[in-house]
Amino acid sequence: MLVLSTMKTLTAETTPPTCDGLPHADHPKATVSNGLLNAVVFLPDVKSGYYRGARFDWAGVVGCLSYKGRTYFGEWFREYDPLLHDAITGPVEEFRSNDGGLGYSEAKPGDLFVKPGVGVLRKNKDEPYQFVEAYPLIDSGKWTVRTKRDRIIFTQRLTSPIGLAYIYEKILRLEKDKAEMILEHRLKNIGSKAIDTDVYDHDFFMLDGKPTGPGMVVKFPFAPIAEKSLGTVAEIKGKEIIYKDELLPKQSFAGYLKGYSNSISDYDFTVVDRRTGVGVQQTSDSPISKLYLWSIRTTICPEAYIHLQIEPGKSQSWKIRYRFFVGEK
């Protein structure tokens, strides 16, 4: 059943929200803090988890994060259903191979494929992978969660009858004495087939819940180039994408971007509201393999992809860092 979200879109004059009164807070969750940042994180649970969809990684779903009375994530959508593909919040990640899921292209209708961070899924139809599709979950593997004051360690161990198996560890931690959150990942291939996939962070940034529009900027260390026209609501100026008009309900602004190199230093972008100086900088220890920008009225999402190529018995690790700030333009 779909439930209307209680998320409020704020004007520039509205008092910033806090993490009090978090919508749908009756699901398993944990609160972490380093004295500067406070975050509420929903935990993976196959029966009662906040998110049980077939698209995104179930680990690290940040329902809210606050710093100096400002918030950076929240419910950007109008309708909530735990099985809906994008009814999810925070810097969530999706593992997306060329054919959508591991083993999807070889599978016939009724056969199995795998999405890391989700589990073993069943292919419904003889058609290309669709991220909006509610593929039946056959096996979510074994999740374990360890919570400390300033971090949460998620581990998913999964095996499948199609030769794909892994141990996935994701640590969400808040850096000591800094307004920074770090996602540390390690994916170990314990199956008989290679794991060849991209993983990207959808972000779903919401700066105090204010609508996307004038004053909002996405900054890069390189001059971004749009592969196709991005429309009229925003424009590229040097190394920035500047929003000119407030996006209307159901209006979007999206497209693939080029201009980055294979240097790790190019994985460095900032979303900021210059009216308030509230923003977040995102960096990584891995290069960008593909870059997409998607935004609607309620959220701005620079989606940087990282490529993973993991042979049987091998592991790959990567890290993403978020620096939250107030008072920078």
Any domain includes 252: yes
Query: Which residue has 């971090």 as its token pair?
Result: 151
Domain count for the chain, please give it.
Answer: 1
Separation between Cα atoms, residue 102 and residue 28, nearest integer Å:
28
pLDDT bucket at 98, cuts 50 / 70 / 90: confident
The count of other CB atoms within 10 Å of the CB of residue 116 is 24
Helix or strand or coil: residue 308? strand
Tell the burial category of 257 from Cβ atoms under 10 Å away from its Cβ (0-12, 13-18, 19+): buried
pTM of the model: 0.93
Considering the domain boundaries, does residue 322 fall inside one? no
- Return d(Cα 211, Cα 296) in angstroms, integer: 8
Domain membership of residue 302 (yes or no) is: yes
Q: Is residue 301 part of a domain?
A: yes
Q: Is residue 133 part of a domain?
A: no
Q: Tell me the C-alpha distance between 200 and 192, whole Å.
A: 24
Pairing of strands 216-219, 93-96: unpaired
In the predicted structure, residue 16 carries a pLDDT above the cut 50: no
Is position 292 within any domain? yes
Residue 83 burial by CB count (10 A; 0-12/13-18/19+): exposed, middle or buried?
A: exposed
Does the pLDDT of residue 46 top 70, yes or no?
yes
Residue range 120-164, pLDDT digits in tens: 999 999 999 999 999 999 999 999 999 999 999 999 999 999 999
Of the candidates 226, 204, 223, which has an alpha carbon nearest to the alpha carbon of residue 295? 204
pLDDT digits (tens, 9 = 90+) for 66-83: 999 999 999 999 999 999
Q: What is the pLDDT of residue 299?
A: 98
Domain that holds residue 241: 216-314
163-214 pLDDT, tens per residue?
999 999 999 999 999 999 999 999 999 999 999 999 999 999 999 999 999 9
Segment among 91-100, 156-165, 179-188, 280-289 with least mean pLDDT: 91-100
Q: Give phi and psi for 266, each to the nearest 5.
A: -80, -20
Q: Is 126 inside any structural domain?
A: no
Lowest mean pLDDT among 10-14, 162-166, 248-252, 310-314: 10-14
What pLDDT band is residue 17 in, cutting at 50, 70 and 90? low
Residue 73 is assigned to a structural domain of this protein: no
